[in-house]
Amino acid sequence: PIRLSGRVIHGFGRGSKKLGVPTANLPPAPLAQQLAELPAGVYFGWPEADRRVHKMVMNIGRRPTFGDAEPELSVEAHVMHAYSQDFYDQPLRLVVLGYIRPEVKFGGLQELLARINTDIGIARSQLDLPQ
Ligand code: ADP
Ligand code: RBF
Ligand code: MG
């Protein structure tokens, strides 16, 4: 397993939360060495403190769907739990167990969202396996 940790920062304010998939963003700079070995894409695993309580699916990449001119790398995890409060600035440790797919440029938000929901389903079933 790969461990990625940091304090939750504000993301790009593109309303992931409004879309129903809030993502806790980690600062990429301190993780540069680990990120150099990880292809951009979608991964699944556990938030460390919540192992086997909550599952998570995450994206590492530059969000090509939005077509930013000079996109920064982002590391963002959607935890499959309905939290009653935000946890900005809190430490978050992720245990990354598997890779789902490469990051791609979707035709629009609807396509992106539909695929994210598929990713959530894949993560859920992978993390339910006994191994
Ligand atoms: P931002 O662009 O600032 O990352 P988001 O719309 O992605 O904003 O919302 C992310 C924030 O929402 C997280 O930093 C965290 O504080 C909060 N949050 C609430 N529930 C969740 C969840 N289930 N998974 C991830 N973050 C969550
Ligand atoms: N952004 C992309 O441009 N392409 C992707 O393939 C992509 N996959 C994602 C998969 C998951 C599970 C999550 C949580 C995010 C993904 N994103 C992707 C990032 C997305 O653009 C970002 O969370 C937002 O800014 C959505 O509003
Ligand atoms: Mg976010």
The CATH code of the domain that includes 30 is 2.40.30.30
Please indicate whether residue 42, judged by its CB atom, sits closer than 6 Å to ligand 1. no
pLDDT of residue 52: 67
pLDDT of residue 100: 98
pLDDT tens-digit profile of 72-81? 999 999 999 9
What's the total number of domains in the chain? 1
Q: Which ligand 1 atom is at minimum distance from the Cα of 85?
A: 19
How far is 90 from 69, CA to CA, in rounded Å? 30
Helix/strand/coil for 95: strand
Distance 131 CA to ligand 1 centre (A): 29
How far is 69 from 83, CA to CA, in rounded Å? 33
Strand ranges inside 1-131, DSSP E = 2-7, 24-26, 41-47, 56-61, 74-79, 91-102
Distance 22 CA to ligand 1 centre (A): 4
Q: Which of 63, 66, 105 to mutate to test the pocket of ligand 2 (most atoms within 8 A of CB)?
A: 63
pLDDT of residue 12: 85
Q: Name the residue range of residue 88's domain.
A: 2-128
Closest CA to 45 of 102, 92, 91, 86: 92
Indicate if 76 belongs to the active site.
yes
Below-50 pLDDT ranges, the chain: none
Closest residue by Cα to atom 26, ligand 2, is 16
pLDDT of residue 7: 97
pLDDT tens-digit profile of 72-108? 999 999 999 999 999 999 999 999 999 999 999 999 9
Q: Looking at the whole model, is its pTM more than 0.85?
A: yes
The catalytic position among 37, 72, 76, 111 is 76
